[in-house]
Amino acid sequence: MGTQAADNYPPAKDGRSAQEKSIDDWLPITSSRNAKWWYSAFHNVTAMVGAGVLSLPYAMSELGWYTTHPPIDPCVLSSCSCMGEARRPERKWTEFFCGCRGPGIAVLILSWVITLYTLWQMVEMHEMVPGKRFDRYHELGQHAFGDKLGLWIVVPQQLVVEVGVNIVYMVTGGKSLKKFHDVICENKCKDIKLTYFIMIFASVHFVLSQLPNFNSISGVSLAAAVMSLSYSTIAWGASVDKGKVANVDYHLRATTSTGKVFGFFSALGDVAFAYAGHNVVLEIQATIPSTPETPSKKPMWKGVVVAYIIVALCYFPVALVGYWAFGNQVDDNILITLSKPKWLIALANMMVVIHVIGSYQVRTQQTAHSHRSSFSRLRHETKSQTHKPIKISRADLRHAGVRHD
């Protein structure tokens, strides 16, 4: 319904009040609306492709390979089962698709398709009301559910997601920095607690947080997007180079029925977290200029398509090749499973650190923007109610004993 409205009614003239314009000019995201379509591409890659991609092989170990055998079963052709030894090189790629039945590949594909579709819906709804842009998630919620109910539905959930993801990124950055230190030193350096590495990671943001708006961090976001593609390539490339481990086992990681059920839902959570980036889509689109002739949804969608191609190039090879190489022995971070070559693993961990720095900035810009928007509007509403003139009739004055000529 929203997308039809967006198609039938192109963006009209700016319908914001003077107060809304002053707030938008002050907020860090809407203060600059000169972004290009490729800005949306690498902003979306940075927001979505996080360290969660490195846990996808582990999710595959809890989901399994596929739901049904193809007409010509490669497992029969290669004579392999759920447990087998590393075979001759000529059978390597035939055995790639061999394993126990499970919905792993279907979950990956469906997640990619569904999240792309829902992201397209959000892009279309950004300007579905003539003369108005929904620059923030809670504004879209208020339009759908009403001013008060929309805030209560959207803001608490958005706050939990934003704060939770920022904490995860802070810890992930510290862990990757510690892993880089440990690999380089090889037990020759003094052991440093993870807490200090997290503090080192956090200190970088004291500087980057001084950048005024979303477009000012475009260089940081671009570097982060390049790093995400790079360390994903290292992860699956090193797995191919290493090949199958001896006695690789493609059985589900859990052995009991209860464990398999909980493992299944845990894996769904890992995959969902890997595609977590929709909560910043409206803010990314808010940085793109819009006119009735060229609405912002056109360059935004172009950038989204490019971003999702990059997402596919990162996610599918890491998930499938990582699980193919290590089976259910893979760790929750495939870089931990890959111990050699050390220089490459150290480089990949440093790339993760750089990427998470950019992701953290993109998400905290959106977090700060959302909270400033809510509080500033609340302050203006409180002021307007406090200074609202009170109408007193002559009858009221006479009743109070005040003479009015």
The structure tokens 């959207």 sit at: 154
Distances, alpha carbon 226 to alpha carbons 116, 165, 365, in Å: 21, 21, 20
The structure tokens 């890997």 sit at: 274
The structural domains of the chain, ordered by start, are 2-17+31-67+102-373 (1.20.1740.10)
- Where the chain has pLDDT below 50, the residues are 1-12, 26, 67-81, 83-99, 381-382, 384-387, 397
- Look at residues 321, 280, 285 and name the one whose alpha carbon lies nearest to residue 303: 285
CA distance linking residue 191 with residue 362, whole number of Å: 32
Q: What pLDDT, on the 0 to 100 scale, is given for residue 405? A: 53
Q: What pLDDT, on the 0 to 100 scale, is given for residue 80? A: 41
> Which segments of 146-272 are extended strands (E)?
248-249
Q: Where are the alpha helices (DSSP H) in 55-146?
A: 56-63, 74-78, 92-95, 104-125, 137-145
Q: What pLDDT, on the 0 to 100 scale, is given for residue 7? A: 47
Q: How far is CA 173 from the centre of its chain?
A: 15
Q: What pLDDT, on the 0 to 100 scale, is given for residue 395? A: 60
Q: What pLDDT, on the 0 to 100 scale, is given for residue 29? A: 52
Q: What pLDDT, on the 0 to 100 scale, is given for residue 376? A: 55
Dihedral over Cα of 298, 300, 301, 302: its sign: positive
Which residues partner with 84 through β-bridges? 248
CA distance linking residue 347 with residue 360, whole number of Å: 20
Q: What pLDDT, on the 0 to 100 scale, is given for residue 206? A: 87
Whether the ω angle into residue 341 lies within 30 degrees of 0, i.e. cis, is: yes
**C-alpha atoms less than 13 angstroms from C-alpha of 123 in its C-beta half-sphere:** 22
Q: What pLDDT, on the 0 to 100 scale, is given for residue 19? A: 52
